[in-house]
């Protein structure tokens, strides 16, 4: 094993760019399977699957390998990028914290625009967590790790659980038996019967994604599922790993990298094994209400499992990246990762066009798992080619350049 390419090109650690590009592969494949949260129920008759057995395999791959794991890596690298920016500014004698706060405001606005196309866009949520990260930055690594572990152990869930139980114990009236409740039940069928679907259009997509779609995303991020809390935990881990300068010397410690990979694999397996001993509660999220202690415990173990799993994927990528031959192939992902912001937003915009009825939803909305997987691969390859060509002539991706220029309130050099 040996280093496959330069460790640093310009001012960038190349393996981080390649890893970010790899993470976005999993993101686009998962979102394709989810139709970018656009489901045209009743708009057309479903088709018979062309590859039913392969569909099952790809659905399994999506659930057990891709979903949640690759976006974790993307979040982890955001926390690391935060440290790199702060550290490089500090070496020049500049306190970058105020500038980074403004940078997060700009990212929030970019995320809002992205959410208009794809309601599951996470950049505005990243911006919110980035603001918090600035205030945590002065803390020592031990304190940061302690905070991350407390969140990962499900503290927000357990606090919500205790609060809900307290409210239940204080209730003295049964709302379900009030006249107003009976009237609401009587009126609901009439409202549903008179419901008229909106005409498919780009503007209606924007309106729904920025209202009900955004509420659904925030509920997913901050309700019992707690996806947002896990994301923030990974931000903190990324900051700590950046501080110990792990990636700056990662090519010098191949035995350590392999050992970490094996430890993370073992950790993911053991946590999953332990979770299997707890009984499952089917349909909790459909029923609503307060989950049981067992359900909360399973959610927490699932989060820990996901962190170990994502860490194993990360270390596996790093090991392969530094294998001669394989590393040169993985290096093709570096331009894609350098344009991670542009490519992520492009995925959401193209996904909206592909699956909306005002776009090509009547075609791609009928596709099954295998066809959608292939569609995701083709789109990803096209983005790789686009990124490589673009960075041949320009210093930054389009959104990266705009973000950088807005950060410094000055147009930055663009063309090479």
> Is 181 a domain residue?
no
> Is 175 a domain residue?
no
Tens of pLDDT along 377-404?
999 999 999 999 999 999 999 999 999 9
pLDDT value at residue 43: 73
> Is 260 a domain residue?
yes
Nearest to 115 by CA among 404, 336, 344, 285: 344
Nearest to 300 by CA among 221, 230, 217: 230
Count: domains in the chain: 1
Q: Which domain holds residue 69?
A: 8-169+203-280+288-408
> Is 183 a domain residue?
no
Q: pLDDT-based confidence at 182, cuts 50/70/90?
A: very low
> Is 178 a domain residue?
no
Per-residue H/E/C for the chain = CCCCCCCEECCEEHHHHHHHHHHHHHHHHHHHHCHHHCCCCCCCCCCCCCCHHHHHHHHHHHHHHHCCHHHHHHHHHHHHHHHHHHHHHHHCCCCCHHHHHHHHHHHHHHHHHHHHHCCCCCHHHHHHHHHHHHHHCCCCHHHHHHHHHHHHCCHHHHHHHHHHHHHHHHCCCCHHHCHHHHHHHHHHHHHHHCCCCCCCCHHHHHHHHHCHHHHHHHHHHHCCCCHHHHHHHHHHHHHHHHHCCCCCCHHHCHHHHHHHHHHHHHHHHHHHHHHCCCCCCCCHHHHCCCCCHHHHHHHHHHHHHHHHHHHHHHHHHHHHHCCCCHHHHHHHHHHHHHCHHHHHHHHHHHHHHHHCCCCCHHHHCCCCHHHHHHHHHHHHHHHHHHHHHHHHHECCCHHHHHHHHHHHCCCCCCEC
Summarize the confidence of residues 68-97 as an average pLDDT: 94
Tens of pLDDT along 355-383?
999 999 999 999 999 999 999 999 999 99
The token duo for 278 is 């707890």
Tens of pLDDT along 223-262?
887 899 999 999 999 999 999 999 988 988 899 999 999 9
Residue 122 phi/psi, 5-degree rounding, is -105, 5
Cα separation, 333 vs 207, whole angstroms: 35
> Is 2 a domain residue?
no
pLDDT value at residue 415: 93
> Is 20 a domain residue?
yes
Summarize the confidence of residues 140-153 as an average pLDDT: 96
Count of Cβ atoms closer than 10 Å to residue 378 Cβ: 10
> Is 271 a domain residue?
yes
Asked if pLDDT for residue 73 goes beyond 50, the answer is yes
Residue % of the chain over a pLDDT of 90:
72
Summarize the confidence of residues 330-358 as an average pLDDT: 96
pLDDT value at residue 196: 45
């Amino acid at each position: 094993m040996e280093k496959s390419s330069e460790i640093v090109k310009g001012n960038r650690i190349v393996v981080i760019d390649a890893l970010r590009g790899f993470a976005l592969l999993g993101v686009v494949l998962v979102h394709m399977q989810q139709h970018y949260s656009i489901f045209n129920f009743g708009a057309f008759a479903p088709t018979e699957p062309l590859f039913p057995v392969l569909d099952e395999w790809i659905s399994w791959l999506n659930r057990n390998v891709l979903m949640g794991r690759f976006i974790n890596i993307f979040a982890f690298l955001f926390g690391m990028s935060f440290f790199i920016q702060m550290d490089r500014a500090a070496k020049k004698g500049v306190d970058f914290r105020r500038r980074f706060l403004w940078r997060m405001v700009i990212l929030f606005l970019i995320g809002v625009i992205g959410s208009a196309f794809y309601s599951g866009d996470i950049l505005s949520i990243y911006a919110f967590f980035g603001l918090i990260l600035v205030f945590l930055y002065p803390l020592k690594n031990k304190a940061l790790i302690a905070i991350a572990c407390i969140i990962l152990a499900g503290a927000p869930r357990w606090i919500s659980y205790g609060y809900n139980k307290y409210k239940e114990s204080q209730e003295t009236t049964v709302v379900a038996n009030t006249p107003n409740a009976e009237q609401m039940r009587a009126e609901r069928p009439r409202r549903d019967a008179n419901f008229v679907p909106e005409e498919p259009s780009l503007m209606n997509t924007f309106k729904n994604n920025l209202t009900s779609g955004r509420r659904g995303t925030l509920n997913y991020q901050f309700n019992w599922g707690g996806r947002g809390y896990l994301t923030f935990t990974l931000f903190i881990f990324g900051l700590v790993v950046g501080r110990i300068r792990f990636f700056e010397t990662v090519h010098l410690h191949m035995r350590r990298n392999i050992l970490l990979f094996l430890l993370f694999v073992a950790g993911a397996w053991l946590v999953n094994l332990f979770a299997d001993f707890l009984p499952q509660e089917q349909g909790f999220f459909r029923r609503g209400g307060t989950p049981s202690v067992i359900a909360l415990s399973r959610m927490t173990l699932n989060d820990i499992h996901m962190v170990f799993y994502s860490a194993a994927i990360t270390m596996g990528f790093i090991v392969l990246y530094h294998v001669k031959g394989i590393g040169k192939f993985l290096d093709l992902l570096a331009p894609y990762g350098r344009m991670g912001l542009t490519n992520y937003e492009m995925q959401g915009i193209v996904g909206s066009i592909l699956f909306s009825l005002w776009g090509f939803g009547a075609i791609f909305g009928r596709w099954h798992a295998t066809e959608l997987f292939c569609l995701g691969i083709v789109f990803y390859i096209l983005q790789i080619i686009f990124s490589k060509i673009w960075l041949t002539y320009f210093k930054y991706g389009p959104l990266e350049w705009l973000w950088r220029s807005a950060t410094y309130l000055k147009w930055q050099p663009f063309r090479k």
